[in-house]
Structure 1
Amino acid sequence: MTDAFEPDVPAPDEVTAPWWDATREHRLVLQTCARCVREKRPAAQHPPRALCVRCGSDELDWVRSGGAGVVDSFTVVHRAPRPDLAVPYVIARVRLAEGVVLLTRLQGREPDGWHIDDKVQVTWIDLDDGRALPVFVPDAPPSPETEKGS
């Protein structure tokens, strides 16, 4: 199993800079909408945007995520998009406890050892520029039932 990779990451901009700044401290933050909070609607969104995707408000702020989630969907990549990427690796949608979905990588387990609804926890890959990428690892060891495929 190989967990090492060199990602291509976008440069921060005026919308994403607070998110990237938090990653420097290994803090996973989510953008929230004050108007949606007041109206008791789901308020968190990701990726960061200039406006709320639900109501169009620009009353956006940041809250810290606990970093716990479940695997919503995943795929094992066997053919790298670049020759310098080691395969296989796992790309997944992780649904955080806060309801937001992140597109990320799964690590810490063989690619064929992952299942939908596996519990995961955020960890970090440090980048050369001081930022970090959130990736997810198993939150608990797989149960014997999971190992049998039931």
Structure 2
Amino acid sequence: MCAGCGKVLFPRVAVCPGCGSVDLEEVGLRGTGRVVTWTVVRNPPEGYEKYSPFVVALVELDDGARVLSQVVDVEPDEVEAGMRVEVAFRRVKEDGASGIIAYGYKFRPVIE
């Protein structure tokens, strides 16, 4: 979070893009938010063909930061603006040659 203007920043940066301050502090994020807008990727980049179609959304976290991320555990035609989502750690990709599996954050609908 920027001590200069109070903006919550994610991912971590060296300089606040809002006010230029370098006085930044690390804060925990709750990991919940809402879908602002989204798109369905039907022609994915090489290596992601088996996941197609998939949803990529701009998520506004309850803490104020905005994150671009994949949305999982929901059919593409069920995603809508305002949908409540929560962070989920999932497989991002795997390298067949080395056997390395990369994990990262994605979002899934909140079950209420």
TM-score (norm 2): 0.81
User: For residues 81 and 117 of structure 1, do their structure 2 counterparts lie closer, same or farther at Cα, with a shift above 3 Å needed?
Assistant: same
Deviations 1:21-66 (A, max 9, x none): xxxxxxxxxxx11222xxxxx3211232210112211111211110
**Which residue does the alignment assign to 1:65?**
29
Q: Which amino acid aligns with 2:82?
A: D
Q: Does the Cα contact within 8 Å between 2:3 and 2:25 map onto a contact in 1?
A: yes
Match of 1:75 among 19, 39, 43: 39
Deviation at 1:105, TM superposition (A): 0.4
1:123-134 aligned within 5 A:
123-125=88-90, 128=100, 132-134=103-105
Counterpart of 1:58 in structure 2: which amino acid? V
Residue-pair matches, total? 104
Computed over aligned residues only, the root mean square deviation of the Cα atoms, in angstroms, reads 2.0
Overall identity of the aligned pairs, in %: 31
Structure with higher strand content: 2
SS at match of 1:122: strand
List runs of 5+ in structure 2 lacking aligned partners.
93-99
Q: Which runs of 4+ in 1 moved over 4 A?
A: 126-129
| 1:35 aligned residue | 4
Offset at 1:84? 4.3
Deviations, residues 99-131 of structure 1 (Å, cap 9, x unaligned): 1110000001111111111000111125757x7
Q: Is 1:140 matched with 2:111?
A: yes
Name stretches of at least 5 consecutive residues in structure 1 with no aligned partner: 1-31, 37-41, 142-150
Residues 72 and 106 in structure 2, CA contact (< 8 A), matched pair in contact too: yes
The separation in 2 between residues aligned to 1:115 and 1:64, in whole angstroms, is 27
Query: For 2:23 and 2:35, how far apart are their aligned partners in 1?
Result: 30
- Counterpart of 1:11? none
Query: Contact 2:35 / 2:58 at 8 angstroms: preserved in 1?
Result: yes
TM-score of the two chains, using structure 1 as the length reference? 0.62
